[in-house]
Structure 1
Amino acid sequence: MSPSFHFPSALKAPGGLPVLLVPLVLLGLAGCTSLQPDQAVAPVQALTRDHWQADLPWQQNQQARDTAQQRSQALLAQPLDAQAAVQLALLNHRGLQATLYGLGMADADRVQALLWPNPVLNLGRLVRGEETEIERGLFFNLTALLGRGARQTAATQALERQQLEAAQQVLAVAAQARRSWIQAVASQAQLQHAQTVLDAAEAGAELALRMQKAGNISAYRLAREQAVQADARLWVDQTRLQAARDRSALLRALGLDSAAAASLRLPEQLPPVPDSRRSTPALEQQAIDQRLDIQAARRQSSQLAASLGLTRQTRLVNVLQVGYENNRSNTEPTQHGPSLSLELPLFDWGQARTARARQAYEQSLAQTAQVALDAQAEVRDAQLRADQAWRTARRYQQEVLPLARQISDETLLRYNGMLLGVNDLLADAREQARLMTASLAAERDYWLAETDLSQSLLGPLDGAGALRSATAGDASATTPPRNGASAH
């Protein structure tokens, strides 16, 4: 039985307020609450600008969509860097636009919770012989009135929690765009390097063929050089396939169709690895303070706490109904007076609802603690991988490649002094190619690890093996052709 207030049908309600003015007053109170979908979206847009230096416009009409299209075309008119890739993804990702509409819906739910319950007008006409009785009354839902404040708090917190979830989606989209850009640029650089290796292998095979015709090398050595050439061709084919797949993945991450593929231009190589690691003190505490999934879990706990207060407040209200009756008759004097209906709480005192709300609140606290622990572990792992990737990339740049160039210079001097043959020179060139391939892969792995670390400070990574699968790539596409030096 729903509790309600029942006002008389006389000209004035209790307190002297005219009955006809009651709906008008409530209508005026409802008018104080207005829909503000743009303000519901604003916090997500602000976070996007703060953390990614990019815009997330809400494309609610054709003009906004045309403006976004024009901005996309302007970004595609020049070689695309990592920042422009993130901006393109935010402009063209339709799933993000759907999420923004979801925030507008959540704002509508918030306003709905703020509205006063509609009054119920009850009219009745009863005839008994010569007697005609007219009943009139105005009812209000007592439960809705008593719980309005708690519902307002819960609806506001629900909107805030959904805003945090939307921000997590923005974070994932932006991070995926950056990862895809790194992969595509690295694959393109590997393809260019593989083509250079193939050119060298073809030159070596042509030279070996001439020397074999002149009788200077055996057919065995010629076959070895031709095998190296065949491996180089296979490597180019595999690397070309990987580059095409990574480019396709980038187009998908940016929300671009095949028509825009021709306009997409990438830089020739990734940015250089920095000389020093960025200062990262207290990363775990930083993640606890600002990670979006932790904030969302906290919001959920707060929402359940508000729900617990509402349950405690209304658990006994259902057993009470207050009313005021007014009955008029054409033959008898008017009957009026208050009434009280009391439902005997023999079986349901609301204790089960209160207990369930308490258990749900305690469950949310435990889940929040687990989310925080997982976040700390994720940040630690991301930091370890980023530090190791930086050390590896720097070691290639500062030690491995300089030593390889020194060896190459010494090999060339000995070749010019006729101390080494052309085969030794070709073998050294192949070793240089192998080390350069490994160095390019190390640069790619560093930037991917750095992207994961940045994302882990703001939200969860998309799958624990995202980085490992991305950096591993296609083994055949990152492995240079075999070295034929052992045959010489």
Structure 2
Amino acid sequence: MSTISFPRSAAALLVLALTGCATLSPDGDLAAVQQLAQPRIGTAQLRPDPQAVAGLLAQPLDAEAAVRIALLNNPQMQESLATLGVSDAERVQMGRLPNPHFAIGRFTEGSTREIERTLSFNVLGLLALPWRAEWQGQQHELAKLQAAQDVVQLAADTRKAWISAVAAQQSALYLRDVKDAAEAGAELARRMARVGNWSRLEQAREQVFLADATAQLARAQQTAFSTREKLTRLMGLWGTQTGFSLADRLPDIPKTVTEMHDIEARALRDRLDVRAAVAASGYVAKQQGFTTVEGYFDGLTLGYTRNTTFDNAAGSKETKRGWELELPLPLFDWGGARHARSQALYLQSAARVRGVAVQARSEAREAYFGYRTAYDLAVHYRDEIVPLRKFINDELVLRYSGMLASVWELLADTRQQVLSVNSAIESQRDFWLADTDLQTALTGTSPGALASLASGAAAEASSTQGH
């Protein structure tokens, strides 16, 4: 009895081990994704929490609060995490034993009736279960890396949207001051032209400046509205939630710039898209051997059959038992094409790793160069242009008080000072956008567009030409 029961017990234990080794993640792998994205999101949570969102909206939003709300409330983020749950379910499903097939047939010939019962198993499915479970587990690891990239990208997009919204809000306020100064100048010019102290040409110049300032203010208000709406969409807000208030101004520029001499190494070591490409290539390489074996034994089936024949005339029955092994003969397909496909997939994945590595290195260098340039420009405005403009304005106020300068000189200089401050705000915005791109390029994923500095410089150039 012991020699018979032991193999049965071992088989039962094997079945239980294979069916019970894979279980669903209790939190949908949110903790794993949060750990992967932690360098860019800190302690921000990913599970929806309406009360936390309401608490963050109750005060003026800074960049960190906006990112937290987006991670808690963004519908696309929740969709991505739900997709991760689907991958987790597929991982568990792939680790389960394939169901056996049961077939029954009834055949009659004269007074003889035959009943055939067959229980069959897909042998390849049983033998390949560990490999397939491992493969699906690897796909789930890639899904977690992809979800972490989505988290990092959403955090970066939200941070940049907040920076743009606050900067646009500040610019609109300063351009309103420009318009107010233009209105004062135009009214004064109208009065002086009416009494004959000014020509119509000089009055027209002040009026066209007012018209231009009005148009610039309208564009600035539209930009402020658009950037705020973009931030609202990223945070997933609607209804009364859209009445949130932003911080009054952008953070101050750091006193010193961050020196980085190993940006390429950091990008290759820490970026999630690089890790995903390397992992995927390794998984494809592991699957090559199994793909070759599967090509030869695809369709291998083992069945147990029990046939019972009833002779109604004689009143007897006869039972036959046996097993059946079904194995496809490789007469036409020896698996050459399948093996070639496996080789091509590996070469494809290896090329993708090289491509991602080249892109990561280049984006890291570009992001750091943009970061340094944006910092130098912001410091230049903060330490040179704005103080000089303030000094000139203060001197003109003194000269005007001493009747050594006209009101027109004072108004013109006030306009220039406000425009300089507005340009300083834009340079400050560009620095924080470049800083976000740099951090994303080094520790997250591809920042996508690193054109924030270039677009800011182009806008500033066109604004200067307009003035």
The residue identity in structure 2 corresponding to 1:245 is S
* 2:220 matched residue in structure 1: 239
CA distance in 2, matches of 1:137, 1:205: 99
CA distance in 2, matches of 1:111, 1:320: 24
CA distance in 2, matches of 1:323, 1:247: 66
What is the number of residues matched between the two proteins?
460
TM-score scaled by structure 1? Answer: 0.84
CA distance in 2, matches of 1:71, 1:319: 54
Q: Does 1:195 align with 2:176?
A: yes
The residue identity in structure 2 corresponding to 1:231 is D
SS of equivalent residue, structure 2 residue 210: helix
* 2:445 matched residue in structure 1: 459
Where do 1:109-188 residues align within 5 Å?
A: 109-124=90-105, 126-128=107-109, 133=114, 135-188=116-169
TM-score scaled by structure 2? Answer: 0.87
* 1:7 matched residue in structure 2: none
The CA deviation at 1:251 is: 1.2
- Kept in 1: contact 2:40–2:440 (CA 8 A): no
CA distance in 1, matches of 2:451, 2:31: 33
Q: Does 1:41 align with 2:30?
A: yes
Moved more, 411-420 or 321-330: 321-330
Structure 1 alignment gaps of length 5 or more = 1-11, 60-67, 483-488
The residue identity in structure 2 corresponding to 1:44 is V
The verdict on how the C-alpha distance between 1:315 and 1:222 changes in structure 2, with shifts beyond 3 A counting, is: closer
CA distance in 1, matches of 2:332, 2:276: 37
Moved more, 71-80 or 250-259: 250-259
* 1:79 matched residue in structure 2: 60
1:388 to 348, 368, 373: 373
The verdict on how the C-alpha distance between 1:346 and 1:218 changes in structure 2, with shifts beyond 3 A counting, is: closer
Moved more, 435-444 or 205-214: 205-214
1:287 to 264, 267, 272: 267
- Kept in 2: contact 1:136–1:326 (CA 8 A): yes
- Percent identity over the alignment is 39
* 1:269 matched residue in structure 2: 249
- Kept in 1: contact 2:267–2:441 (CA 8 A): yes
The CA deviation at 1:84 is: 0.5
Moved more, 96-105 or 225-234: 225-234
SS of equivalent residue, structure 2 residue 119: strand
* 2:289 matched residue in structure 1: 309
CA distance in 2, matches of 1:267, 1:43: 32
CA distance in 1, matches of 2:298, 2:234: 53
- Kept in 1: contact 2:183–2:210 (CA 8 A): yes
The residue identity in structure 2 corresponding to 1:345 is P
The CA deviation at 1:301 is: 1.5
* 1:366 matched residue in structure 2: 351
Moved more, 43-52 or 324-333: 324-333
CA distance in 2, matches of 1:204, 1:481: 19
The verdict on how the C-alpha distance between 1:327 and 1:199 changes in structure 2, with shifts beyond 3 A counting, is: closer
Q: Does 1:435 align with 2:420?
A: yes
The CA deviation at 1:201 is: 2.2
The CA deviation at 1:139 is: 2.1
Moved more, 132-141 or 282-291: 132-141
* 2:279 matched residue in structure 1: 299
2:236 to 248, 255, 261: 255
The CA deviation at 1:209 is: 4.0
The verdict on how the C-alpha distance between 1:217 and 1:127 changes in structure 2, with shifts beyond 3 A counting, is: closer
The CA deviation at 1:260 is: 1.9
The CA deviation at 1:49 is: 4.2
The CA deviation at 1:228 is: 2.4
The residue identity in structure 2 corresponding to 1:286 is R
SS of equivalent residue, structure 1 residue 138: strand
- Kept in 2: contact 1:48–1:55 (CA 8 A): no
The verdict on how the C-alpha distance between 1:134 and 1:401 changes in structure 2, with shifts beyond 3 A counting, is: same
CA distance in 1, matches of 2:204, 2:57: 47
The CA deviation at 1:167 is: 1.2
- Kept in 2: contact 1:208–1:225 (CA 8 A): yes
The CA deviation at 1:416 is: 3.9
- Kept in 2: contact 1:235–1:479 (CA 8 A): no
The verdict on how the C-alpha distance between 1:421 and 1:32 changes in structure 2, with shifts beyond 3 A counting, is: closer
* 2:313 matched residue in structure 1: none
The verdict on how the C-alpha distance between 1:31 and 1:49 changes in structure 2, with shifts beyond 3 A counting, is: same
1:58 to 18, 36, 47: 47
The CA deviation at 1:41 is: 2.8
The CA deviation at 1:75 is: 1.1
The verdict on how the C-alpha distance between 1:120 and 1:229 changes in structure 2, with shifts beyond 3 A counting, is: closer
Aligned-CA RMSD value: 3.2
- Kept in 2: contact 1:23–1:119 (CA 8 A): no
SS of equivalent residue, structure 2 residue 120: strand
- Kept in 2: contact 1:131–1:329 (CA 8 A): yes
- Kept in 2: contact 1:386–1:449 (CA 8 A): yes
- Kept in 2: contact 1:322–1:341 (CA 8 A): yes
The residue identity in structure 2 corresponding to 1:436 is V
